[in-house]
């Protein structure tokens, strides 16, 4: 980008990965570059590589967790090049994947010290320097894990959330003084750091891990560090002059998956009532789905069989005890009508959601499901006795099957390679008004409802990247897309 010609850029964490790729991109645009990191050997190598590309570049050793070290770094930049126009804060602690309760306190402290306080320290001194020469741009490196929860990376995710908070707050504070601040949120990227995180896996485990990961990314591959660097360069140039306080997602479409959006609810499970469960389960098994757990719901009058996926499960539900199904407690959810849906015209479906936070963004009423422990209840969204629409409810205590410990994890492999439930569309007879709660769920984009001649449900897996489908009707009112 021509407007970066002759500009002075500083990249902390600039000797490897995304930081080094950004430094190379600045050099290619004619900028003068300082890269900073703790490792002097890697720093010297990075400086040599940048000079080999024809850049006016220098390395300066810096520990971003130490304010005095950062102050020395900015003094070096000014002494060497006279000013600072662009800064990229890319330094991060090399944390290991771990269950949250097993993370050592010192490692958690180092992660926050580097990923949060380190970014703040850099911004503090970069801003002070830029104010002396009329302004500049700052790009902080966050992550898609700064937009949503990340199992086995809780502290890292918290740190990246904090980076977005710093970016937004300081962007508003300093834009009037000529300093434009934004962030980039990369998805999974090919870097040496990523290789270190999976170094403990066997070759077979690496291959399986990669295949599973690729299935969750619509573009079907990891990002290259150079692709992230292109976004950083754009945010540092006048081409993005009206972009302030923004977190630019560069993730191959991952956040575009409906299930992956940073929303208040995610899928927990879908149930389908069947009048002939043996035939229905056989049809699904012949297709390639693996059913692994069965249960009788004592007091509710139903029984089930479940097929589990990474983030949710599919439940076949059928009648087990007619008296229990017609009890005063069970009556309001309409299961007696739902299990006989062809006869009654009731919706045979249920969709359960997990809340991502402590608040549920829709009104509910408590169903004291008889099979739950004493005092337990399920928050139901669907109004009482509203059998014509799917039963929608909240599952407060469950978690994604893939995050369960090995001894509790059900089989997740299916012959068709289906991994993640990414969208649910319910088809219901035309002319039936939907409830306020169902409208809220549709507005949250966690569910779609369409008119049709008869009840059926469409489940999308893995973003429907393969553009394939299978219709189980008339055995089961189900269409799968993947």
DSSP 269-291: EEEEE-SSHHHHHHHHHHHT--E
Residue 180 near residue 169 (C-beta atoms within 8 A): no
Residue keyed to tokens 């891990």: 209
Backbone phi, then psi, for 398, in 5-degree steps? -85, 170
**Residues catalogued as catalytic:** 156
Strands 247-250 and 265-273: unpaired
Distance (Å, whole) CA 376 – CA 369: 7
Residues with Cβ within 8 Å of residue 372, at least 6 apart in sequence: 378
Sole residue written with tokens 């006795």: 385
Phi, psi of 129 (to 5 degrees): -70, -45
Query: Going by C-beta distance under 8 Å and a sequence separation of 6 or more, which residues neighbour residue 40?
Result: 59, 61
Structural contact between residues 32 and 81, judged by C-beta atoms closer than 8 angstroms: yes
Contact 225, 188 (CB under 8 A): no
Token pair, residue 164, equals 């977005």
Burial status of residue 322 (CB atoms within 10 A of its CB: 0-12, 13-18, 19 or more): exposed
For residue 367, the SS3 value is strand
User: Which tokens in the block code for residue 482?
Assistant: 């993947």
**345's tokens:** 């015209």
Query: In terms of residues, how long is the chain?
Result: 482
The burial class, CB within 10 Å (0-12 / 13-18 / 19+), for 17 is buried
Q: CA nearest 304: which of 313, 315, 314, 312? A: 315
354: left (phi over 0), alpha (psi -120 to 50) or beta: beta
Specify the residue for token string 């977005």: 164
Give the pair of three-digit tokens for residue 252.
Answer: 């191959």
SS3 435: coil
């Amino acid at each position: 980008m021509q407007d970066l010609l002759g500009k002075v850029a500083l990249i902390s964490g600039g000797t490897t990965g995304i930081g080094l790729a950004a430094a190379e991109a600045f050099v290619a645009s004619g900028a003068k570059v300082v890269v900073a990191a703790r490792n002097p050997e890697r720093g010297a190598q990075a400086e040599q590589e940048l000079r080999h590309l024809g850049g006016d570049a220098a390395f300066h050793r810096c520990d971003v967790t130490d304010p005095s070290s950062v102050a020395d770094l900015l003094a070096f930049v000014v002494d060497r090049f006279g000013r600072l126009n662009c800064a990229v804060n890319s330094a991060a602690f090399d944390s290991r994947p771990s269950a949250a309760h097993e993370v050592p306190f010192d490692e958690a402290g180092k992660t926050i010290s580097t990923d949060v306080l380190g970014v703040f320290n850099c911004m503090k001194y970069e801003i002070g320097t830029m104010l002396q020469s009329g302004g500049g741009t700052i790009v902080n490196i966050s992550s898609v894990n700064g937009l949503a929860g990340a199992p086995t990376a809780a502290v890292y995710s918290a740190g990246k959330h904090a980076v977005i908070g710093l970016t937004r707050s300081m962007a508003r504070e300093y834009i009037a003084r000529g300093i434009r601040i934004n962030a980039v949120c990369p998805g999974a990227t090919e870097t040496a750091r990523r290789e270190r995180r999976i170094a403990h896996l066997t070759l077979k485990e690496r291959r399986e891990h990669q295949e599973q990961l690729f299935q969750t990314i619509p573009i079907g591959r990891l990002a290259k560090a150079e692709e992230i660097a292109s976004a950083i360069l754009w945010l540092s140039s006048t081409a993005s002059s009206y972009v302030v306080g923004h977190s630019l997602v560069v993730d191959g479409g991952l956040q575009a998956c409906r299930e992956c959006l940073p929303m208040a609810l995610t899928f927990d499970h879908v149930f389908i009532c069947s009048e002939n469960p043996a035939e229905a389960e056989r049809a699904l098994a012949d297709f390639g789905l693996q059913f692994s757990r069965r249960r009788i719901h004592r007091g509710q009058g139903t029984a089930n069989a479940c097929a589990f996926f990474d983030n949710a499960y599919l439940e076949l539900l059928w009648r087990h005890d007619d008296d229990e199904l017609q009890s005063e407690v069970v009556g309001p959810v309409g299961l007696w009508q739902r299990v006989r849906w062809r006869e009654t015209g009731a919706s045979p479906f249920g969709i359960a959601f997990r809340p991502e936070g402590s608040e549920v963004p829709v009104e509910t009423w408590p169903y004291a499901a008889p099979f739950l422990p004493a005092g337990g209840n399920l928050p139901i969204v669907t109004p009482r006795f509203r059998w014509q629409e799917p039963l929608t409810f909240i599952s407060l205590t469950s978690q994604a099957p893939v995050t369960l410990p090995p001894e509790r994890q059900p089989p997740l492999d299916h012959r068709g390679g289906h991994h993640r439930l990414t969208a649910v569309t319910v088809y219901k007879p035309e002319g039936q008004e939907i409830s306020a709660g169902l409208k809220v769920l549709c507005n949250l984009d966690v569910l779609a409802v369409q008119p049709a001649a008869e009840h059926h449900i469409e489940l999308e897996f893995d973003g429907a990247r393969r553009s394939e489908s299978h219709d189980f009707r008339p055995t089961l009112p189900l269409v799968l897309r993947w």
